Structures are given as structure tokens and as C-alpha cells.
Amino acid sequence: MWDAIRSNQWKSTALIMLMGVLLVLLGFAIGMSVDPQMGGAYGAVVAVGIWLVMCLVSLMGGDKILLMSSNAHPVEKRDAPQLYNIVEEMTIAAGLPKMPAVYIIDDHIPNAFAVGRKPEKAAVAVTTGLLKRLNRDELQGVVAHEIGHIRNLDVRFMTIASVMLGSIIMISEIFVRSVFYGGRVRSSRSSRSRGGGGGGQAQAILLIVALVIAILAPICARLLYFACSRRREYLADASAARFTRYPEGLASALEKISSRMIGAPQVSRALAPLYIVNPLQGRALFSLFSTHPPTEKRVEILRSMAGGAGYLDYEKAYAKVWGERKRCIGTETLQSEGEQISIRAPIPEMQNRQDAVKQAQEVGDLLGRIMNFLLIPCACGVRIKVPPEFNRPEIACPRCGRNHALSEAQKLTDVADSQTGDPMVFQRQATGWESVECSCGKSTQIGPNFSGNKLRCSQCGQEIQILSK
């Protein structure tokens, strides 16, 4: 894969340089329209200066800015043990030097993205909609895809490219708005009508040229930005298939995610291309302005990997879908792959509706704990989530109307927190699905692939130590 990564880096460098030329040309044209003698040089310097400032801010804390803009909340292993274990597994499979930080976003639309300047300082963020709707195999495929972006150094390039694209768009929009709404067009027309001579005509021509460049530059920059991001999605899919050894997991996840994109809420244009499925483009849309390949093609390639889960198997499936002349992964990687990587069996999952409801309820409880909500279990079965800013002494259950004193509920929570130093112990009796019952009466299901040594009750917060059979 490293030859493909190197190829991407060279192409990315060339594309960023072209975007840089566009940025300088844009600044030069705007400067010339203001001052035909010295304005061009000043405009180019100002444009590069704006880009350098934005790039510095982005490289120093761009990942934090993106996470804050998406309202992502950090989680620990005790908060979301299954998600945390999957990120740990895929970190080891990818050979990353450090496990990425894990974040959760309160959004009912299933999606995920990765950010970070380098593999040692990266983060993976998933939405609550993803946790509610995906099983373990599908969630593992999505996480592996994002880990693949981190390993392939895609997140660093996307950060720099998005900053340069943002600079070009910002400068263009400011100039165009100032021309049409600041009276420069009217003043240019009046100077020509008064017989301003050759100087006035030259000024008008330069203004028109600058307007044309200001309109075309963002379009060209977007084309360059989108062109160098599509192949990265294929490489991340190939990495995910290899890391998980189960291509169907990611294929099924992509179908579920793309089916939920219709009617999705608007997200930041800077953040949208980072998602595993772009929420700003339709499922069937594939054009020059698409940041991602068509989801249908990605799924078809993954499901064509019948022979194995390695890079060579993905390359064969890619050629089968797009044609024999199409190439995705580098020749050096394909020649050095070695033994074939077999596809593993899927993880058995529970299919009944009660389990799906329970999974959604646990995700809601998780989000409540992360956001410091007080969770009050009512006798009717409802969990009442009380926000931190709620200042009344009691709260009524929305279903049965029973009143709950917040002081008593807080005492129970404090007792549960104090018990974390002396956890309960559960001895596993089998390797399949088992029910772990907490002292508060809440039961939690653990599956055959549960690899942790402890879990936390979603109702009272009690820590339960799990002993393997």
C-alpha cells in the first residue's frame, strides 16, 4: 500500500501546487483591478498571507476545530466498551503507533469521519445514529475505513487541501460581493461615461478579468480537490477489507448509511468530504463535483471480493467493476502481499426487535452520561434524562406522571460512582451470549466476541468485572 500512498502524495503535492497557483493568480487579478501598477504584487502577497494564517491555524488545531464544529464528545472505554474495543482492534490491525481518540456525535444520521495531523495524533468520530443501526461487523468495517484514512495519511492532506480551497472561496466571495454590492460596477460605468479615456477602459477590463477569475477559481479548485479525494476512498475501503477480513461488513454499512442520507441535516462544507459517505451529495450522484465515488460501486467492489480479503483481491474486484484497464492499488504492494488473506465468518448477532430497542436505549444512555445528564429510572420503564441546567427539585415522568426527587436520584448516582473502586465480578460460564445482571437489576448482554475485562451498567453506572471462562 505504501507505493499507492507515495503516488497519492506526489499527486496531492502537484494538485496543491496548482491550487496555490490559482490562489496567487486570484490575488494578483484582484490587486490589478484595484491598482494596475502595484496592486498585482500586493494582491498576490495578501492572498498567500491569508492562506498561510489559515493553514497555520488548521495544522496547529484544525482537528480540534472540526471536532468542536461537529459537537463531538470524547468517550473512554468505560463509556462505550464495544466501540472502544473495535478501535483498539483496528489500530493493531493497521499497525498504527498510537490508538486514535474516540468521539461520539449526537446525530441520528449514521456516519463517521477521522481527523488528525499525523497517525500519532488522530481521532475517529462516529454518530449515535451509526451506533444504533449497525451491528458489530458493520461498525468494525466503518472504523477500519477511517483507520485506513489515518494510516494512509489522507487526513493530513485533506486538512491542507480544504484550507487552501477555503481560502480561495473566501477571497473570491469577498471580492465578488464587494464588486456587486459595494458600488464598484456603477463607479466603473460612470467613469467610462464621463470619458475617462484609456485608463478608465483599462480599469474596467481588469475588473471584468478579475471577476471572471474570481468566479472560475473556486470551481477549478473544487475540481482539483475532488479529483484527488475519490481514489483515497477506494484505498480506505481496501484497507478496511484487509484489516477486518470481512468485506461484507463495510459493504452492508455503506448501504445502511447511504439510505439514510436523504433528508439529512446540513453540515459544514469543510467537514462533509471527511465523512465516509458525503451527506451533501445524493446517493446516485457521481460527477466532477463528487468528493466520493458512487456508493453503489464501492459496495459492488467489496461484494466482488469472493476469493479473499487482501489487496490483490480488492484490485481484481475493482478491475471487474470498472474495467480491466482500471487500476487502484500500486503494483509494488500487490507483488509483495504474500499469502492470501481469507475472509472470516460473520459474527453471530441477535435479530429480534427487543435487542434493537435495547441497543438504541443504551446509546441514548451513553450520550446522556457523556453530556452529564442525570439518568433516573422510573418504575414504568422510562429512563428520564435530566440536563445539568435543570434547577427544579423534582421532575415528573413523561409516561406515568410519577414525580422523582432529584436529590434522591443524585444520591443513588453518587453511590454508584463510589462503587467503581470495588466492582462487581461476573464469571463467564460459556463462550456465547450471556446476560450480566447488575445489583440494580439491570441486565446487559455480552456476546461471543466480547474481549474486554469489565463493563459499566448503563442504568446505575456500577462497574462489573468480567472473568473469562
pLDDT at 283: 41
Would the CA dihedral through 409, 415, 419, 421 be positive or negative? positive
Are 130 and 196 found together in one domain?
A: no
Q: Going by C-beta distance under 8 Å and a sequence separation of 6 or more, which residues neighbour residue 391?
A: none
Do the beta carbons of residue 363 and residue 340 sit within 8 Å?
no
Do the beta carbons of residue 253 and residue 139 sit within 8 Å?
yes
Give the β-pairing of 72-74 and 454-456: unpaired
Are 181 and 318 found together in one domain?
A: no
**Residue 385: half-sphere exposure toward Cβ, Cα within 13 Å:** 15
**Domain endpoint, select from 175, 202, 229:** 229
Are 241 and 328 found together in one domain?
A: yes
Q: Going by C-beta distance under 8 Å and a sequence separation of 6 or more, which residues neighbour residue 13?
A: none
Are 40 and 140 found together in one domain?
A: no
DSSP class of residue 420 equals: G
Closest CA to 241 of 158, 155, 335, 304: 304
The tally of domains found in the chain comes to: 3
104 grid coordinates: 461520539
DSSP assignment of 17-52 equals HHHHHHHHHHHHHHHHHH-TTTHHHHHHHHHHHHHH
pLDDT at 86: 94
**Domain endpoint, select from 211, 229, 247:** 229
Q: Which domain holds residue 141?
A: 72-147+231-335
pLDDT at 420: 45
Q: How far is residue 263's CA from residue 266's CA, in Å, rounded to a whole number?
A: 9
Are 322 and 238 found together in one domain?
A: yes
Q: How far is residue 83's CA from residue 367's CA, in Å, rounded to a whole number?
A: 13
Q: How far is residue 126's CA from residue 114's CA, in Å, rounded to a whole number?
A: 9
Are 213 and 239 found together in one domain?
A: no
pLDDT at 338: 73
Closest CA to 162 of 43, 276, 71, 62: 62
Report the catalytic residues: 146
Are 431 and 290 found together in one domain?
A: no
Q: Would 347 be classed as within a structural domain?
A: no
Are 290 and 324 found together in one domain?
A: yes
**Domain endpoint, select from 272, 300, 335:** 335
Closest CA to 158 of 333, 9, 327: 9
Are 200 and 213 found together in one domain?
A: yes
Q: Would 319 be classed as within a structural domain?
A: yes
Are 79 and 53 found together in one domain?
A: no
pLDDT at 268: 62
Strand, coil or helix: what is 225?
helix
For 351, list phi and psi in degrees, rounded to 5.
-110, -10
Q: Which CATH number characterizes residue 263's domain?
A: 3.30.2010.10
pLDDT at 1: 55
Do the beta carbons of residue 129 and residue 108 sit within 8 Å?
yes
Instruction: Print pLDDT tens along the chain (469 aa).
Output: 555 556 656 766 777 677 778 888 888 888 888 777 777 888 888 888 887 877 777 667 767 877 887 888 898 887 888 899 999 999 999 999 999 999 999 888 889 999 887 888 899 999 998 998 899 999 999 999 999 999 988 877 776 776 777 778 888 888 888 877 765 555 555 555 555 555 567 777 877 888 888 888 778 777 766 666 677 889 999 999 999 999 999 999 999 998 876 655 556 666 667 788 877 665 434 455 566 788 899 999 999 998 899 999 999 999 999 887 777 887 777 777 777 889 998 887 655 555 666 677 677 767 766 666 777 777 777 778 787 777 788 888 888 888 888 776 565 555 445 444 455 778 777 777 777 877 666 777 777 777 777 777 766 667 788 877 6
Q: How far is residue 328's CA from residue 235's CA, in Å, rounded to a whole number?
A: 7
Are 138 and 236 found together in one domain?
A: yes
pLDDT at 238: 93
